[in-house]
Amino acid sequence: MQNGRKTSDRNWCKMAISDPLLRELQSILKKLKEETQPITDHCALLKPLCETLERILRKGLKQPGSLFGINKRDYWSWMESTPNYVCNDKYNPFLNRAIDLTQSSPKLRTLQGRGRCFIRLALAKKIVSVPVEHLLRNARLTEYWYDSGLSIIANPPLAEALMSLLFALTDINFELDVKNASFLDESWVIPVYKRLELVPCSSLGMTIRYLDNRIFVVKVEENGVAGEDQKIEPGDIVDELYQESLYGCKSGKVNSLLREHQGWPVYVSVIKCRLPDGTVYPPLVSRIKKLKEELKEFEVKKLNKKGPAPMPAHALLPQDYPEQAPVHDPEGKAEFTAKYVGQVSTGRYGDVAEIESAVEKAIQQNKQQEITENKVVHVELTETEVIITDLKTNKELSKHSYTEISSCGRRSDMTQYFAFIAGDTQCSVSRNFTAFVFEAESADESKIILCSIAQGFGRTSWFV
């Protein structure tokens, strides 16, 4: 087999292949070889490739006789048992790992889904040829699973051509999100999958609905944590929370996990209801229709044909707005002058929802204390921290690392004011938060300062 591999690797693109499925695989492979970038989930060639591989693996697969087809087989049926028939000297640890990951995935319910998950893992790990190669080494096992008159795998000349193509396929780099597996039971179309890290909060600010064992977002509060950057929208599915799958979970699981991790940043993964081209993800079409019938207030947001939906000021990032000038100098610092309005305790809450009331409270405190002129301060945003210094006395008023800062933002009706909330220690474990409120020279400068703080979040990892 190994000697034949080198020869077939050179000649796979020139082979005269009689079987239409193998010809289709050969054609896709030629196009993949022309790609200059790794193949991702949304490459147009990935779906036809996976569908063709699946059809090849199913062709001629023997089905046991049983009443009503209860014991129906699929290609995963033999793939998951492959390690049982492999000698130790031929053992491939990546194969066993891929099988274990597929078997243990809580997001899959069917043989079809598990088989598809394995194909994606095998492409990513460059082992797509390995299970077929092991099967072909055992003639009795091959005969047990496949009909030699109908299949490709049990037909020696066709199987040799297939192995040549599979070996060539391992030369291609696939960068697939293998945890994006929740709809493989139903479809080869891969949805857009987003992993988000939200500020610590007691409530995500969204309404969810259970449908078909999945958690749909049906409403998002405009000023809530989930909606602050419009990355979670009505119609999306909450797939994981703190890396735990929510597929088929009980109704109280979400609140239970939030209570268990109170004070931590919220790690949530969502399946977006729209594909990159803007169309609704096909498996969700009927479900969204059902939600609309049951909930009058539910509505999937329409596409903004003029461009991406506007983001709130505190969520602005340079990559979101290319025209935004960089706010950090070559040394990684950004420096501004602003007026220090004051600080307000927000207790145990450090999420962005506290910003609006904190700004108002700080202004009211100054009025009550008859403070007519706020301190002019120097705001220095370094690679790792925010430093506030009194310009008149040169006294350092506060210094906070980005891991201590839980959120930042401004009011929509007083946009020259901005604030950030920091804990008395790293915000993931802090139980005492304070909002620091400032007045910028203009609304535009307020926006730029918030953008700069957001850059700091992007450079800093949370320690938990």
pLDDT in tens, 289-329: 999 999 988 988 876 544 444 444 333 343 343 333 344 44
Q: What digits encode the pLDDT tens for the residues 238-285?
A: 999 999 999 999 888 888 898 888 888 889 999 999 998 889 999 999
- Please tell me the predicted confidence (pLDDT) of residue 89: 55
- Please tell me the predicted confidence (pLDDT) of residue 90: 65
Lowest-pLDDT range of 44-53, 113-122, 400-409, 450-459: 450-459
For 191, 311, 445, the CA distances from 275, given in Å and listed in that order, are 6, 20, 35
What is the DSSP pairing of strand 334-347 with strand 375-381? antiparallel
Tell me which range, 43-52, 263-272, 347-356, 375-384, is most confidently predicted by mean pLDDT. 43-52
pLDDT band at 43 (very low <50, low <70, confident <90, very high): very high
Lowest-pLDDT range of 7-16, 147-156, 212-221: 7-16
pLDDT band at 382 (very low <50, low <70, confident <90, very high): confident
Q: For the chain, give the number of residues.
A: 464
Q: Average pLDDT of 350-363?
A: 87
Q: Average pLDDT of 12-28?
A: 81
Give the separation between CA 348 and CA 357, rounded to whole angstroms.
Answer: 15
Is the pLDDT reported for residue 207 higher than 70?
yes
Is the pLDDT reported for residue 71 higher than 80?
no
Give the separation between CA 169 and CA 116, rounded to whole angstroms.
Answer: 17
- Coil, helix or strand for 308? coil
pLDDT band at 449 (very low <50, low <70, confident <90, very high): confident
Q: Average pLDDT of 149-167?
A: 94
* Under 8 Å between Cβ of 200 and 266: yes
The pair phi, psi for residue 51, each rounded to 5°, is -65, -40
Q: Average pLDDT of 342-368?
A: 88
- Please tell me the predicted confidence (pLDDT) of residue 87: 67
- Please tell me the predicted confidence (pLDDT) of residue 91: 67
Q: How many CB atoms lie within 10 A of CB 15?
A: 14
Q: Which two tokens stand for residue 295?
A: 């909930």
Is the pLDDT reported for residue 57 higher than 80?
yes
Q: Average pLDDT of 376-405?
A: 88
- Please tell me the predicted confidence (pLDDT) of residue 316: 38
pLDDT band at 426 (very low <50, low <70, confident <90, very high): confident
* Under 8 Å between Cβ of 161 and 213: no
The pair phi, psi for residue 429, each rounded to 5°, is -125, -5
Is the pLDDT reported for residue 40 higher than 90?
yes
Give the separation between CA 55 and CA 132, rounded to whole angstroms.
Answer: 14
Is the pLDDT reported for residue 108 higher than 90?
yes
The answer to pTM > 0.85 is: no
- Please tell me the predicted confidence (pLDDT) of residue 82: 86
> b or e along 339-357 (b: 16 or more beta carbons within 10 Å of the residue's beta carbon)?
bbbbbbebeebbbbbbbbe
Is the pLDDT reported for residue 400 higher than 80?
yes
- Please tell me the predicted confidence (pLDDT) of residue 389: 93
pLDDT band at 11 (very low <50, low <70, confident <90, very high): low
pLDDT band at 121 (very low <50, low <70, confident <90, very high): very high
Q: Which two tokens stand for residue 143?
A: 């005969």
